[in-house]
Amino acid sequence: MPHSELPAAQAQPESLSDLFWSFTRLALQGFGGVLAIVQRELVDKKKWLTREEFVEDWAVAQILPGPNVVNLSLMIGDRFFGLRGALTALAGMLTFPLLIVLALAALFAGVADSPHIQGALRGMGAVAAGLIAGTGLKLIAALKQNPMGAPVCYALAAITFIAIALLRIPLAWVLLVIGGSACAWTYRQLGALHQIKPTP
């Protein structure tokens, strides 16, 4: 499918400070990982990205080394304001959370043994796991637009889940074998689509 047929994102950040505070807000809401919040805020609410753009950027952020959400904020910041935007988004993502985690470490030293605190951490951990899985389930809808076709995508997703979650195969192998095959197949499909239906 030609890129131009995908609906473009409707909105964008107004300024560097809008970008900084938006990412600070995202980071401060993200307990146990920020991805669920990024999807909800930037795609569903602010509409800086479409669901499809988000999945594509997320793929790049995931494949490259480094913290995924940090990579994603660099890419989004760069998209709107270049290098300054990338650094601003990065600063927003890290500054306040860093101060908070250091403060928590100081406080935690006194209460680490309380069963209530341990219980609360355990409960929040279980919820955080659910938030990440639920975000994945929600993004499945984005696969309907995929040139491989939805059934092939669902099958690839199922195989990947089994390989990583149940068989615990190292990520590098999964990306190389399953990811490599999927990219090769998509490349073929894009060529076939191009011949049947040339880009207008």
Partner 1 sequence: MSMNLHLTLTSADWLALFVHFMSLSLLAIGGAITTAPDMHRYLVGEQHWLSDAQFTSSVALAQASPGPNVLFVALLGWNVGINAAGGPGAATAWAYGGLGVLVTMVGIMLPSTTLTFAAARWGHQNRELRAVRAFKQGMAPIVIALLIATGWILAAGNAGETGQWPLWLLTAVNALLVWRTRVHLLCLLGAGGLVGWLGWV
The footprint of partner 1 on residues 117-156 (CB under 8 A) is 117-140, 142-143, 146-148, 153-154, 156
For residues 145 and 154, give the distance between their C-alpha atoms in angstroms, rounded to a whole number: 12
Q: What residues numbered 29-68 form the site for partner 1, per CB under 8 A?
A: 29-37, 40, 44, 55-68
Contacts with 17 (C-beta within 8 Å, 6 or more apart), sequence order: none
CA angle 87, 10, 154 (to 5 degrees): 90
Residue count, binding to partner 1 (CB under 8 A):
108
Least distance CB 11 / partner 1 (angstroms): 18
Q: One-letter amino acid identity for 144?
A: K
Complex with partner 1: residue 116 or 198, whichever CB lies closer: 116
Give the type of residue at 82.
G
Amino acid identity of residue 158, one-letter, is A
User: How far apart (Å, rounded) are the C-alpha atoms in residues 194 and 200?
Assistant: 10
Site string for partner 1, 70-99 (x = CB under 8 A): xx--xx--xx---x--x---x--xx-xxx-
Q: Which is nearer to partner 1, 11 or 117 (CB)?
A: 117
Tell me the two tokens of residue 4. Answer: 């131009």
Q: According to CB under 8 A, which one of 7, 47, 111, 161 is a site residue for partner 1?
A: 161
Question: What is the residue whose two structure tokens read 């669901």?
Answer: 51
| Burial of 48 from C-beta contacts in 10 A (0-12 / 13-18 / 19+) | buried
* Residue 196 beta carbon to partner 1: minimum distance, rounded to whole angstroms: 15
Collect all residues with Cβ–Cβ distance below 8 Å to 100 and sequence separation of at least 6.
28
First vs last Cα of the chain: how many Å apart? Answer: 11
Residues 3 to 22: which contact partner 1 by CB under 8 A?
A: 3
Residue with smaller CB distance to partner 1, 17 or 183? 183
CB-nearer residue toward partner 1: 14 or 44: 44
Minimum distance, C-beta of residue 13 to partner 1, in the bound complex (Å): 17
Binds partner 1 by CB under 8 A, chosen from 18, 21, 50, 178: 178
**Of 11 and 155, which CB lies nearer to partner 1 in the complex structure?**
155
Which of 11, 107 has the CB closer to partner 1? 107
Q: How far is the CB of 115 from partner 1 (least distance, A)?
A: 7
